Amino acid sequence: MSTPIFLSAKEAATELGVQPATLYAYVSRGLISSVAGPGKKRRYDAADVRRLKGRRQVEDHTGARPLTGDPVLETELTLISEVGPVYRGRLAKDLAETSTLESVATLLWASPDDPFAGNIPKSPPPMPEGLAPLDRLMMALAAWPLQDRAAFTLAPRLLQTKGAALLRYCVAALLDQQPVAVPIHTQIADAFNVSASAKNVIRAALVLCADHELNTSAFAARCAASTRAPLHAALLSGLGAFAGPRHGAAPDRAAAWLSEIQSETDIEQALADRLARGETLPGFGHSVYQDRDPRADCLLDILFRTEADNPFVARLPELTTAADGLFGLPPNIDFALAAIQRTYDLPKDAAKIIFCSARITGWIAHALEQYAAHEKIRPRAAYVGERPE
């Protein structure tokens, strides 16, 4: 075993390229360990310093330092593995073959009984004309206390049934319909007026998108829940983070360029043109999976099995092969959702509606788990700005 090397504060700060105060902040956050040195001075673990330096030097295409990678809390909900999400010990890709979103919700929420049994909320209030689905949902969630006098309860025995009611209520708001007792994939399929085979693909997509560990929207929901905000407010927090083009609206970006691919399109040339223009390829690559996104592979496989004779689906292998050859990236879940939207000629927001309907299940699970924790989430920042003399 090699002997640990320790640096002085000046050496460590110089190697990191920061002020001593920032070095001390890293130590307080547990990123760098220190030991007592000569006199009253401390010494800093060189391995920790160099590991942190390496992380800080990794930059994305915008030049910003990544804010991903460090575990910040414990969860029993979802494990991100090389074969995809694992929901409380169950592989999401296995559940996607036959399970419904409701059964996955019951699993993630650790509910001993069926929280959806007879749990049909009132309809969302009338909304202004022209609202997009996510905006309609934001207004509906803000209005939730008008129909539920126990909207602010944190009683554990009530929260799971409240979650079931809220999930149905939210899906109804997204679809601009009334809540119903049928499975959510059935309600979505009926709203889009699609075939039974399309309904099954939608069901699988909902299961695969239900949760993805501590993604941005789940973390936002947990932060709100840690302050003991009510469940509908925690969902609003998650929804606010989800609404961005780098998260929940990402399938829209994939669908936009995918709509340009027609039966006569030279796919390799079309993608080469994007590459030459310096354009990215939304729907390909993932910040968590170093290789392939198993959720996309699973969902695209189900789509291939279901719609093998569809002309667009038949060209998907050509498209993904060209993307890999030109951009070096495999498809992610955003592309798979956009492919479903294109295959079945669904409305322009359909992929996002499916994604959001599924992910509400995860937000509720994270909020319920956070309510059971005593701590309020309060991360610290490493200050690197000006300081008073």
Instruction: Give catalytic residues, as residue numbers.
Output: 286, 334
List the beta bridge partners of residue 6: 45
**Token pair recorded at residue 95:** 């559940």
**Token pair recorded at residue 238:** 């998650």
**Token pair recorded at residue 92:** 């999401």
**Token pair recorded at residue 36:** 């007592």
Sheet holding 6-7, edge to edge: 6-7, 42-45, 34-36
Could you tell me what percentage of the chain is helix, strand and coil, using 3-state DSSP and rounding each to the nearest 5?
Answer: 50, 5, 45
Cα distance from N-terminal residue to C-terminal residue, the chain: 44
Give me the amino acid identity at 153.
Answer: T
Q: ∠281-136-169 over CA atoms, to 5°?
A: 105
Task: Measure the CA–CA gap between 23 and 31, rounded to whole angstroms.
Answer: 9
Could you give phi then psi for residue 146, rounded to 5 degrees?
Answer: -70, -25
Those residues with Cβ within 8 angstroms of residue 19's Cβ, 6 or more apart along the chain or in another chain: 13, 384, 387
Contact (CB, 8 A) for 231 and 364: yes
**Token pair recorded at residue 183:** 């499975």
Task: Measure the CA–CA gap between 221 and 226, rounded to whole angstroms.
Answer: 9
CA–CA distances in Å: residue 203 to residues 119, 166, 305: 20, 19, 15
Could you give phi then psi for residue 240, rounded to 5 degrees?
Answer: -60, -40
Task: Measure the CA–CA gap between 326 and 203, rounded to whole angstroms.
Answer: 32
